Amino acid sequence: MSILVIAEHDNSSLKQATLSVVAAAKAIGGDIDVLVAGENCGAVAEAAAKAEGVAKVLVADNAAYGHFLGENLGELVAEVGKGYSHILTSAGTTGKDFMPRVAALLDVAQVSDIIRVESADTFVRPIYAGNAIATVKTSDSIKVVTVRPTGFDPVAAEGGSAAVEQLDVVKDAGLSSFVGEEKAKSDRPDLASAGIVISGGRGMQNGDNFKMLEQVADLLGAGMGASRAAVDAGFVPNDMQVGQTGKIVAPQLYIAVGISGAIQHLAGMSDSKVIVAINKDEEAPIFQVADYGLVADLFEAVPQLEEELKKVL
């Protein structure tokens, strides 16, 4: 078997999610190559070459891939990937965008968002917002799979020494072009890979009040998340949404503040190791999954939490 992993990156650094995808590839077994498609992405290729278990790194460095347009990546990956038994990438918004195009171009099914590998053709994935866990077998000769990074412990980032090979395949479908972006700038750890996450919900009442959570997050070195209600209300940007249809997180510690615990929210965080809930309603469903629940008004509890943490950290 030979597996092609498509790296997730931002042209300058390799996302940790890719190391989890390589781990999924190792669980399948076989030679693992990594494709880095981007623009001026040499540093990413070097990082990928050092990852544990990678045999070869293929680099497609071209302006056509600079913004990870789904049409161009789809064609590139379908062409490079057709010689492999498996094509894997992480289930972030880039992978979700281009990978189904790859599957359609190869006339195969895609298995989305796997959390476990049973065998080379059988995978485990959550459905119905994680209310059910399906074991799915594919009969296609090329298996196109997206991987939920929280399901696999990342391989070591250092120690490997894979060969790096430049590809000169340029696929520019000419169907779409990049206009602009608004990237949330933050020095905090990336939500998806942070060891501690603190999230706020509708109970925060407005965006300004999230500053209280930021102060706690800074003390803990935590990433910041939110419920859909908080994003819909405009308190915080969309990329902070945790849940079935937002980001999936599984940190060591997840602190939910003013979040009721709707099933769609739980779908994104219930694999966290320790869950803390701060909510004034003792009946809130979040308490059913919380290891430590505090029934309190968050406007009193959060400043106290900051003070108490300062004492012990």
Partner 1 sequence: MKVLVAVKRVIDYNVKVRVKPDNTGVDLANVKMAMNPFCEIAVEEAVRLKEKGIANEIVVVSIGPKACQEQIRTALALGADRGIHIEADEDVQSLDAAKLLKAVVEKEEPKLVILGKQSIDSDNNQTGQMLAALTGMGQGTFASEVVVDGEKVNVTREVDGGLMTLSLSLPAVVTTDLRLNEPRYASLPNIMKAKKKPLDVMSPADLGVEIAARLTTLKVEAPAARSAGIKVADVAELVDKLKNEAKVI
Ligand X SMILES: Cc1cc2nc3c(=O)[nH]c(=O)nc-3n(C[C@H](O)[C@H](O)[C@H](O)COP(=O)(O)OP(=O)(O)OC[C@H]3O[C@@H](n4cnc5c(N)ncnc54)[C@H](O)[C@@H]3O)c2cc1C
- Residues in 255-274 at the binding interface with partner 1, rule: CB under 8 A: 263-264, 270, 273-274
Q: Please pick, from the candidates 2, 46, 294, 299, the single residue that binds partner 1 as defined by CB under 8 A.
A: 294
- Give the span between the Cα atoms of 26 and 42, in whole angstroms: 24
Polymer length in residues for the chain: 313
Examine residue 245 and tell whether it contacts partner 1 (CB under 8 A). Answer: yes
The one of partner 1, ligand X, none whose footprint includes residue 281, by CB under 5 to 8 A per kind, is ligand X
CB of 300 to ligand X, least distance (A): 8
DSSP string, 51-89: STT--EEEEEE-GGGTT--HHHHHHHHHHHHTTSSEEEE
Smallest gap, in angstroms, from Cβ of residue 9 to ligand X?
Answer: 25
Minimal distance in Å, beta carbon 229 to partner 1? 11
Interface pick for ligand X out of 201, 223, 251, 293 (rule CB under 6 A): 201
Among ligand X, partner 1, none, residue 247 binds (CB under 5-8 Å by kind): partner 1
User: Using an 8 Å Cβ cutoff, are 140 and 32 in contact?
Assistant: no
> Six-digit token pair at 305?
């939490």
CA angle, corner 49, sides to 22 and 42, nearest 5? 115
Amino acid at 48: A
Positions 8 through 67 that interact with partner 1 (CB under 8 A): 10, 67
Helix 70-81 vs helix 93-106: crossing angle, to nearest 10:
50
Residue 289 DSSP label: T
In angstroms, give the least distance from the CB of 312 to partner 1.
6
93 binds, among ligand X, partner 1, none (CB under 5 to 8 A by kind): partner 1
Residue in the block written with tokens 């419920």: 227
Applying CB under 6 A, which residues contact ligand X? 201-203, 227-230, 241-246, 258-260, 262, 264-265, 268, 279-281, 284, 297-299
